[in-house]
Structures are given as structure tokens and as C-alpha cells.
Structure 1
Amino acid sequence: MQAFQKRLLQYREKLSPLEVQVLDYILRHPEEVIRLSVEEMAKKIFVSTATISRTCRRIGFRGFQDFKYELSKNIAQAAQPPASPPSYLLSQHMERVKREMEKTLQSIDEEKIKRAAEYIEQSTHIELFGVGNSLPICVDAARKLMFSGKICHAREDWDELRSAANSLTEKDLAILVSYSGETLYMLEYAQILKSRKVKTVAITGTPHNRLQQEADLALHAHIVHCYFDDLDMCSRFPLSIILDFIIITYLNLKNNAGKERDR
């Protein structure tokens, strides 16, 4: 629950005063909020139902009902007994990883994978954007693309990433990798890239996020929330799988193009 609340707090400075009022009430009274209708909550905090719905969208949800569903899940998880035998705990996480792999593979959109590969083939320069735990995935993908002969970078410094976003052109490609799709820095980079008409591909681990809405092409991996207290233990390998599929498809396109030229 603490991790979910921290995720909500990162939006606070981006909200209007009325939206902050809504968010603060949610953070102070989460158990009450899940029992209220949007009309009841509006009367309690003296705002319009439209303000509540808009706040929920601004913090990454489709609306109030979607937010309440996620809030109730987090409250239920927080109420579960904390201790489990080690062998049972391990089997739980083995099942979680298996489920992530299966659902990610089931939801793969091959047409989108092919389009992303075509973007790579058509681009002069490729920049991979990832912060925190998503950065190693970007570094690995950049290395593979560089060895394939494509000019590619994955930068660690956040200010350097901003500078890179401001230097890319319409001939380039940006691949943005984010578990939540709601990280403020990533959204900032996406907006810069959009203003510069840079082609963008977003790969995220949650559905219906703002980063997807900013990108030209969005792909979604299946990732299950997993926190130990405040420690983020969510897998990132489903994101890596999608990147690998894109790169493999690009290499195949490149080889086929080479064969056509040799004929």
C-alpha cells in the first residue's frame, strides 16, 4: 500500500489546487473512498464529479471506478498476513514469473512488433529511454543494436536523456521503456520528442497509461506488482522479451533486404 501511495504522490506537484484536494483526501481516507460513489465523494470534499474524474485520469487511471478498483486491490494486499514459509513464498513467486511470461507471450501483437522493427530499419539514429530499473534493459538492447550496425544509445543521466530528446529529429527513433508508463521524467521526454516529431515506441508493463498515449506505437508486457515493503521487486524481463522480439524482427528485415540487393 505504501508503494501505491508513493506512486500517487509523485503526481501531486503536477495537479491543480482542486485536484490536489481530491488526491489528499484519497491518501488520508483510502478505506472510505472505496465505499463512496463519485457523487458522494464530490459532496464530501466540495468539488465537482468532473474534477474527481479528471484527477483520476491525471494520476494514470481511466476514471474513478478504475482508480477505486486498483485502490481496493492494494488495500486488500496490505491486509494479508505478512509471513509465509520460505518454500511456499518461493513457489508463489515462481508462479508469478510463469504467469507473466505466459500472458506476455499470449498478448504479443506481431503486427506491432513488425512495425517497430520497420521504424528501426528506417531510422538514422536510435535512442533508448529508461530510468531506474528499466535502464539495464535499454542498455542491453542498445548494445545489441549497436553490434548489428545501428547507431544507438541508452544513457544513464536524466539530464543527458533530456538533452538527447531535444537533439533527435524526424529521421530518428526513440524507444521508451517504463514499467508504469507514468514516470514523470519519461512523460517529459515523450512530450519533448512529440514536439520534435520524433517517431516513438513505448514499451510498458501496465495497461492504460499516459506514456502509451504519447507514443506513435505502444506495446504492453504483462507484469505483476511485487513489493517487499518499499522495495520494488517487480520483474522487468517481460519488457526485455518484447525488445528482443523487435530486434530479432529487425535483424530478419535487414538480412532480407541485403539478400534482395545481392540479387
Structure 2
Amino acid sequence: MSMDLAPGGVVPHIRSIIPSLLPAERAVAEVFLERPADIVEMSSQQVADAAGASRASVVRTCQSLGFGGYQQLRVLLARDAARALPTQERSADGPFAIVTETFAHVGESIAAMTALLTTEDVTRAVSALASAESIVVIGNGLSAALAADTDARMRSLGLRSHAPTDSIAQQVAVRLLTDRDVALIISGSGATSASTKAAQAARERGATVVSVTSFARSTLAAASDIALVVGMRDLSFQRELAVTSRIPHVILLEGLMAALTDALGDRASAAMAATLEVISGNLGE
């Protein structure tokens, strides 16, 4: 079941259903009602701990309330919370000042972007990609463009890569992978169901799953062999959904391409030369 509630309707809906719930479900629903703003940033296990229930009870409660699952409830609560937030104040005045202030904010966020990256994870990711027989790159929604760009970049390095854009095609592609292949999956929230399903299916086939996301406790990170977690300073799940920023992911992927170029050596040089030859033959005068 999937809810289609009007903005601002999530909490009233839960309140109207709660009397009919079983005791364990009612305890979970009470947490939803008492801490709606916190729920946006909490994992299902954290909600379970707060309610004195199991993680399975959290999922069942969401379904009993008519939601498709906990992730859908979080997204709808984030939507409702965003409506209640005042418009973000800026110290800058005018378009040019706002643009330059944005550059400054990105610069100030660099340390936060790399805080959760580890030498081991980055090294493993580059090694897996460099040695893979084939690579499937997946991104949905606002991550689709990053997936397409990354796919093109890897092919220019001589890697066998493709990035299906249709969710069904993605599911088929990962089911054709083997333990010699890699699935590279990009999702800011880490909660997109199509991307998570692809990660799970790829792991079932024995492929190495490398994810790029902003949240370490996301469902995508949990379904990955290697989770590369990067985000902006002060990034929350709510802001990731409402004011999505792909800047950290773009920089990370750019870094991975540079590391791959180095790891592949002559193979990458030869492939890049062939790519440039094709490009030069398609440039106008």
C-alpha cells in the first residue's frame, strides 16, 4: 500500500489510526507522534530502540498505518517539516553575492565532505573497478545524470561499463553480473528503492557493490560491499530530499576517475587517445 496524503496530513493521519493498532505498533506510532521532526533523521533501528520494540515492529507499524514502509514515512514527514520551515536567510544581497557565497560554502565544507571516507574503502573501490570485467552504473532521479557521466568517463578509460536508465533495465543488468563484475550505485539519500533493489540483486549474483551516498546508515549503504559516504556540511536527510546537492558526489567521482586513470596506466592512456581521436573527428571548424 502507498499513501497519498496531502501536505501536512501525516501526523493527523497517524493520530486517527493509532487507537486501532496493536500494543507494540502503538508504542512505535507514539514515537512518530512525539518526535516527527526527529524521525526524519532516525534509522528504523533507532525508532525501535526509542519505542522499546523491534525493527520489524517499526516496519509493520508503517504498513499498518498505510505507508509502503519506513522510508516512505520519513520522506513524507520531511516534506511536511519543510513546509513549516522559514525561508532560509542569506547574508548575501543580490544574485552575484548569492552565487559567490555558495562557492564559499562549498569551500568551507571540504573537510566535512571527506570526513567519512577511509583509505581502505577508497582503495578497495578503485581496485574493484579497475579489475572488473564489466561495470553497471546506476543512478535514479537527480543521480541519473551523474551515473551517465561516470559511465562515459569509465568507458573513455577503457573499462567495459554501461548505465541503464530504466529501472527495469537496471534490474535485468545487475542480474547478469558475476563475481568478476562491479555495480556502482549513486544515491544521495541512499533510500531510493530502485537503487537499493539493484544493489541487493547485484550482491546476490556475487558482484561487488560500490555505493556513493550521503548517509552511512542508509538502506543502500547496508546493501553495499563498499560504501563511499560524502556529504555537505550540516547535511540532513530532510535537506538532502528538499535541497539536493550533488557537489560532494561530483567531486568524489572526479577523484575516483583520476585514481582509476593512475591505476590503469597504459590501458587508460591508450583508451583516452582513442577517445580523443573520435572527439576531434566530430568537432566543427
**Would the TM-score normalized by the shorter structure come out above 0.5?**
yes
Shift of 1:97: 2.9
Per the alignment, residue 246 of structure 1 pairs with 256
- The amino acid across from 2:148 in the alignment is V
Map 1:88-99 onto structure 2 (within 5 A): 90=98, 93-94=102-103, 96-99=105-108
Shift of 1:167: 1.2
TM-score by length of 2: 0.63
Tell whether the 8 Å contact from 1:100 to 1:238 is kept in structure 2 after alignment: no
Tell whether the 8 Å contact from 1:22 to 1:55 is kept in structure 2 after alignment: no
For residues 247 and 32 of structure 1, the distance between their equivalents in structure 2, rounded to whole angstroms, comes to 38
Change in CA separation of 1:144 and 1:33 when aligned onto 2, cut-off 3 Å: closer
Change in CA separation of 1:22 and 1:130 when aligned onto 2, cut-off 3 Å: farther
For residues 264 and 132 of structure 2, the distance between their equivalents in structure 1, rounded to whole angstroms, comes to 13
What SS does the aligned partner of 1:168 have?
coil
Runs (5+) with no aligned partner, structure 1: 6-16, 43-48, 61-66
Per the alignment, residue 105 of structure 1 pairs with 114
Per the alignment, residue 10 of structure 1 pairs with none
Per the alignment, residue 131 of structure 1 pairs with 140
Tell whether the 8 Å contact from 2:28 to 2:53 is kept in structure 1 after alignment: no
**Number of aligned residues:** 226
Per the alignment, residue 43 of structure 2 pairs with none
- The amino acid across from 1:152 in the alignment is S
Shift of 1:53: 8.2
Match for residue 213 of structure 2 among 204, 208, 211: 204
Q: Deviation per CA, 1:105-158, whole angstroms, max 9, x where unpaired? A: 344323322211111121111111110001111111111110111111112111
What SS does the aligned partner of 1:222 have?
coil
For residues 179 and 142 of structure 1, the distance between their equivalents in structure 2, rounded to whole angstroms, comes to 18
Q: Deviation per CA, 1:20-56, whole angstroms, max 9, x where unpaired? A: 766765555546988xxx89x85xxxxxx22468528
For residues 159 and 258 of structure 1, the distance between their equivalents in structure 2, rounded to whole angstroms, comes to 31
- The amino acid across from 2:120 in the alignment is E
- The amino acid across from 2:128 in the alignment is Y
Tell whether the 8 Å contact from 1:19 to 1:52 is kept in structure 2 after alignment: no
Runs (5+) with no aligned partner, structure 2: 1-6, 11-21, 40-46, 60-68, 270-285
What SS does the aligned partner of 2:137 have?
strand
What SS does the aligned partner of 1:50 have?
coil
Per the alignment, residue 157 of structure 2 pairs with 148
Per the alignment, residue 92 of structure 2 pairs with 87
Tell whether the 8 Å contact from 2:157 to 2:267 is kept in structure 1 after alignment: no
Change in CA separation of 1:55 and 1:172 when aligned onto 2, cut-off 3 Å: same
TM-score by length of 1: 0.68
Change in CA separation of 1:83 and 1:106 when aligned onto 2, cut-off 3 Å: closer
What SS does the aligned partner of 1:218 have?
strand
Per the alignment, residue 177 of structure 1 pairs with 186
Q: Deviation per CA, 1:72-122, whole angstroms, max 9, x where unpaired? A: 9x95x7655336468359377555433443311344323322211111121
* Aligned residues: CA RMSD: 4.2
Q: Deviation per CA, 1:203-262, whole angstroms, max 9, x where unpaired? A: 11122112112111111001324979x984321121122222222112111117899xxx
Tell whether the 8 Å contact from 1:226 to 1:234 is kept in structure 2 after alignment: no
Per the alignment, residue 50 of structure 1 pairs with 53
Match for residue 220 of structure 1 among 209, 229, 250: 229
Tell whether the 8 Å contact from 1:168 to 1:196 is kept in structure 2 after alignment: yes
Q: Name which of structure 1's ranges 98-107 and 232-241 shifts more when overlaid on structure 2.
A: 98-107
What SS does the aligned partner of 2:165 have?
coil
